Amino acid sequence: MLQFALLQISKGRPELAEAASVYEVDEDREQVTIPLPEDAWYVRGIPDAQRFGNANWSPDWPLSAQLTIQYGRASEISFPEVDGVFAVTPITMQKLLPGVGPYRIPTGNRISARKLVHFLLYKAYASFPIPKVRRARLGEVVDGFYQRLLRPDHPAELVKGFGSSLAEKHMQLWMADPQEEAFIELMNWDGAIEPARGSDYLYFVEQNVGGNKLDYFDREVVDTDITIDGTDARARTSIEIENDVFLPQPRWSMGDSGPLHRPMINLYVQPDTTLTSASVEGDRLDVAAGGLAAWSGDRPAEHLERGKKVWSTVLEIDPQETGSVTFDYVTPNVVREEDGRSVYRLVIQHQPKLRPETLRLSIKIPSTAKDVRAPGFKAKDGRLLMERPLKKDLELEISWRS
Domains in the chain: boundaries: 3-171, 200-401
3-state secondary structure of 69: helix
In this structure, which topology does domain 200-401 adopt according to CATH? Immunoglobulin-like (2.60.40)
At 72, which helix (H) or strand (E)? helix 61-74
Provide the pLDDT confidence category of residue 339 given band limits of 50, 70 and 90. very high
Residue 156 has pLDDT above 90, yes or no: yes
pLDDT of residue 131: 85
Asked if pLDDT for residue 76 goes beyond 90, the answer is no
Written as one letter, the residue type at 251 is R
Tell me the pLDDT tens digit for each residue of 371-382: 999 999 999 999
Instruction: Report the pLDDT value the prediction gives residue 3, as an integer from 0 to 100.
Output: 86
**Which DSSP string do the residues of 294-357 spell out, in sequence order?**
--BTTB-EEEEETTEEEEEEEEEB-TTEEEEEEEEEEE-S-EEEETTEEEEEEEEE----SSPP
The whole-angstrom separation of Cα 45 and Cα 68 is 16
Q: Residues 212-229: pLDDT tens digits?
A: 889 999 999 999 999 999
User: Do 364 and 228 touch, CB atoms closer than 8 A?
Assistant: yes
Average pLDDT, rounded, for the chain: 94
Cα 309 from Cα 303, distance rounded (Å): 6
Cα 165 from chain centre = 13
Q: Which residues contact 348 (CB under 8 A, 6 or more apart)?
A: 201, 202, 203, 359, 361, 390, 393, 394, 395, 396
**Portion of the chain with pLDDT greater than 70, in percent:** 100
Query: Strand, helix or coil at 373?
Result: strand
Could you tell me which residues are beta bridge partners of residue 107?
A: none
Kindly state the average pLDDT of the residues 226-254. 93
E-only strand ranges, 60-152? 84-88, 103-104, 110-111
Task: Give the CA-trace dihedral at 334, 339, 341, 347, to 10 degrees.
Answer: -40
Specify the pLDDT at position 136: 87
DSSP state letter for 256:
G
Name, in order, each residue with C-beta under 8 angstroms of 1's C-beta and a sequence gap of 6 or more: 22, 53, 54, 56, 68
Residues 6+ apart with CB under 8 A from 179: none
pLDDT at 391 over 80: yes
Residues 6+ apart with CB under 8 A from 291: 45
d(CA 68, CA 54) in angstroms, rounded, equals 8
Task: Look up the pTM and report it.
Answer: 0.95
How far apart are the C-alpha atoms of 48 and 230, rounded to whole Å? 46
- Confidence class for position 347, pLDDT limits 50, 70, 90: very high
- Residue 208 pLDDT class (50, 70, 90 cuts): very high
233 CB contacts (<8 Å, ≥6 apart)? 200, 226, 227, 330, 331, 334, 335, 344
